[in-house]
Homo-oligomer: A and B are copies of this chain.
Amino acid sequence: MGIKEKVSLASEASKLLGACSREVKDCGLRSIAEGLRANSASILAANERDLRLAREADLAGPMLKRLVFDESKLNGVIAGVESLIALDDPVGKILRGTELDNGLELYQVTCPIGVVGVIFEARPDALVQISTLCLKSGNAAVLKGGSEALHTNRELARVIAEATKGTGVPEGWLQLLETRSDVGEMLKLDGLIDLIVPRGSNAFVKYIMDNTNIAVMGHADGICHVYVDESADEAMAVDVVVDSKCQYVSVCNACETLLVHAGIAKRVLPKLVDALRKRQVRLLGCPVARSIVEMDEATDADWDTEYLDYVLSIKVVSSLDDAIDHINRHGSGHTDVIVTSDEAAAERFMALVDSADVFWNCSSRFADGFRFGLGAEVGISTNKIHARGPVGLEGLVIYKYQLKGQGHVVADYAEGRRQFTHVPIVR
């Protein structure tokens, strides 16, 4: 089947899925949990095949680890599906009701977005998480996973689609794309796909954003900062900086630049450098930082670089507002942290730093849908519209306005025979 035909099937299904009751969607999710359990042998076998091919291709250790889909990962995703069943239906919620006039009632009601295309890394658990988030929120899903997980993804998608047959969930709601050229085709289908969520490298996300008219939600860079304010608790600053930089270096919410207030730099910088060097972090500093502790020189380009590695750039700033200005200029609007015991400084930082996540006295690594308590996440967004930060179920719905009248016409209001009342409907 061609890509356009696949996506057309998803689009047809999405029109019906939007009107499916919570019962139907949850029945589909229960059937998926059972199907995954019943088909564990074929799923694990498919993953073995992917792992064998990956080892033959000398895939790097961390990638291999993400590719593994064993009994324990299977149980994890099944538990995830079961926790989704327990959540409220995000669709059909009345956000606001207004009586426009006697017998003329306006309701703003949540509904699915429609067809969501998600491109994600070679991590088979993501396929289960994303497809079931889409189903719970009433969206058809067009998914493309990392090619190293081809056989696992194919088997998971087959099992999930089969499981929902006969549950009332419209067939065709889940479509799997398998190649890069499939993705290229998908980007052209702006009449059929309503939102694309690309996960992956900067270059990849930018490529997607530049090559489609479909709305794209995601993040390219993750240039996150920790700013150690003049009044920071020094031990806390060391803990937060080390965790933000080192807890997992290759992810988007890891710290890439450390900013230190000049008034505290002489005291705290040696301690920070010491702790970071114990964790093998290579440090690149501005001239002031280098005058306090010996380290390599940071160039202008370093302030705009996402290392995703054991490397950190360090700049001494002369004020809170200098730190804010640096972050708004060089950051990527992802996650930025202030360490301070001055509440007014923290509030100013959190108000003026224009990022999805603004944190006070805690690690940048908390920026994550699971840690935020959203359930699974479909991605992290640095967009300025629709959804920002970790995106869960809520980011997969929009609303429509329903207006219920009794033959009301606008001419009566335009010609002064009737007046609007605009009274909130409280339920």
* A residues whose Cβ falls under 8 Å from a Cβ of B: 15-16, 18-19, 98, 100, 104, 106, 113-114, 194-195, 209-210, 213, 215, 217, 233, 235-236, 239-240, 242-243, 247-248, 328, 346, 348, 350-352, 354-363, 365-367, 371-373, 383-390, 398-411, 413-414, 420, 422
- B409 close to A240 (CB less than 8 A): yes
Contacting A405 at CB < 8 Å: which of B113, B209, B359, B402? Answer: B359
With A386-B398, A389-B400 given, name 11 new contacts (CB 8 A).
Answer: A15-B328, A19-B348, A100-B366, A113-B385, A195-B384, A215-B385, A239-B407, A357-B400, A358-B401, A365-B410, A373-B420
Nearest chain B residue, comparing its CB with the CB of A360: B404
Residues on B with C-beta less than 8 A from A400 are 350, 355-358, 388-389
Q: How far is the CB of A381 from chain B (nearest CB, A)?
A: 10
- A357 and B411: CB pair below 8 A? no
Chain B, residue nearest A381 (CB): B398
Instruction: Point out the residues of chain B lying under 8 angstroms from A362, CB to CB.
Output: 104, 403-409
How long is the Cα–Cα vector from A86 to B209 in the complex, in angstroms? 40
A405 contacts B104, C-beta separation under 8 Å: no
Do A215 and B213 form a contact, CB below 8 Å, given A357-B403, A403-B359?
Answer: no
Q: A385-B215, A386-B386 are in contact. Are A372 and B98 (CB under 8 A)?
A: yes
Contact (A407, B233) CB under 8 Å given A357-B400, A398-B384, A398-B388: yes
- B371 near A410 with CB under 8 A, answer yes
CB contacts (< 8 Å) of A236 on chain B: these are: 406-407
9 pairs of residues in contact across A and B, judged by CB atoms under 8 Å: A195-B385, A247-B410, A358-B403, A359-B403, A359-B404, A361-B405, A362-B408, A366-B408, A371-B420
In whole angstroms, what is the CA distance A210 to B214 when docked?
A: 10
What's the minimum C-beta distance from A341 to chain B, rounded to whole angstroms? 10
A275 CB, nearest partner CB in chain B, Å: 12
In the docked arrangement, what's the CA distance between A292 and B372, Å? 62
Cβ A239 vs Cβ B409 within 8 A = yes
Whole-angstrom distance from the CB of A339 to the nearest CB of chain B? Answer: 8
Closest to A243 in B: B409
Residues of chain B within 8 A (CB-CB) of A106 are 372-373
Q: Nearest Cβ in chain B — how far from A64, in angstroms?
A: 20
**How far, in angstroms, from A348 to B15 measured CA to CA in the complex?**
12
- The chain B residue with its CB closest to the CB of A329 is B15
Q: Which of A213, A362, A406 has the most CB of B within 10 A?
A: A362
Known contacts being A354-B114, A385-B215, A400-B389, is A363 close to B100, with CB within 8 Å? no
How many whole Å from A253's CB to the nearest CB in chain B?
9
State A420–B366 Cα separation when bound (angstroms).
11
B410 touches A215 (CB 8 A): no
CA separation between A95 and B15, bound complex, in Å?
29
Give Cα A390 to B96, complex, Å: 14
How far is A366 from B236 in the complex, measured between Cα atoms in Å? Answer: 57
Closest-CB distance, A267 to chain B (whole angstroms) = 18
Q: What 4 pairs across the A-B complex have the smallest Cβ distances? A: A362-B405, A243-B409, A365-B410, A373-B422
Do A363 and B114 have beta carbons less than 8 Å apart? Answer: no
What separation, in Å, do the CA atoms of A407 and B233 have in the docked complex?
Answer: 9
Complex-state Cα separation, A248 to B407, whole angstroms: 18
Set of chain B residues within 8 Å of A114, measured between Cβ atoms? 354, 384
Q: Separation in Å of the A90 CB from the closest CB of chain B?
A: 13
**B-chain residues with CB within 8 Å of residue A359 when the two chains form the complex:** 402-405
CB-defined contacts of A387 to chain B, threshold 8 Å: 385
Report the minimum CB–CB distance from A123 to chain B (whole Å): 17
User: Across the interface, which residues of B come within 8 angstroms of A242, CB to CB?
Assistant: 409
